[in-house]
Amino acid sequence: MSRLVVAKFGGSAIGPDGALIPKIIQRINNLKKDSKVIAVFSAPLTISNGKKRSLTDIILEQGKNAENGKNPSLEILKSTYQKILEMVNLENQKNCKSTINFNLEKAQKALEELEKEGKALKEEGDRIKEKAEQ
């Protein structure tokens, strides 16, 4: 019976824009010599305004922007995943790109809906405030 290893790689292990993915692949391949491996990954880091940041934090920030009626942007996510996609072998690139784009589109639509709701709530709040001040 083979051993089962669950290996979790956080954003720091993945590195900014996936730079450490080749090392992770080596680690997984070494583990596979003696075990069955399940690999679990967190969102990678990226560089934003000269600082390492988690894509999780960036998407949460964009959610807050949308909630407050500000235009959310997924450009940093798109850029990061494009860099990671360049590391994927040609055989798998098309499917990976399709999956990434599908999920980014879903996220963008959700953020746009949230932005509309945020703007509507802000407008309603402004109307209530104006009436209260009269």
Class of the domain covering 3-133: alpha beta
pLDDT single digits (tens) 77-109: 999 999 999 999 999 999 999 999 999 999 999
pLDDT of residue 1: 52
pTM of this structure: 0.77
Helices (H), the chain: 11-14, 21-32, 55-67, 75-85, 90-133
pLDDT single digits (tens) 30-64: 999 999 999 999 999 999 889 999 999 999 999 98
DSSP 16: B
104-126 average pLDDT score? 86
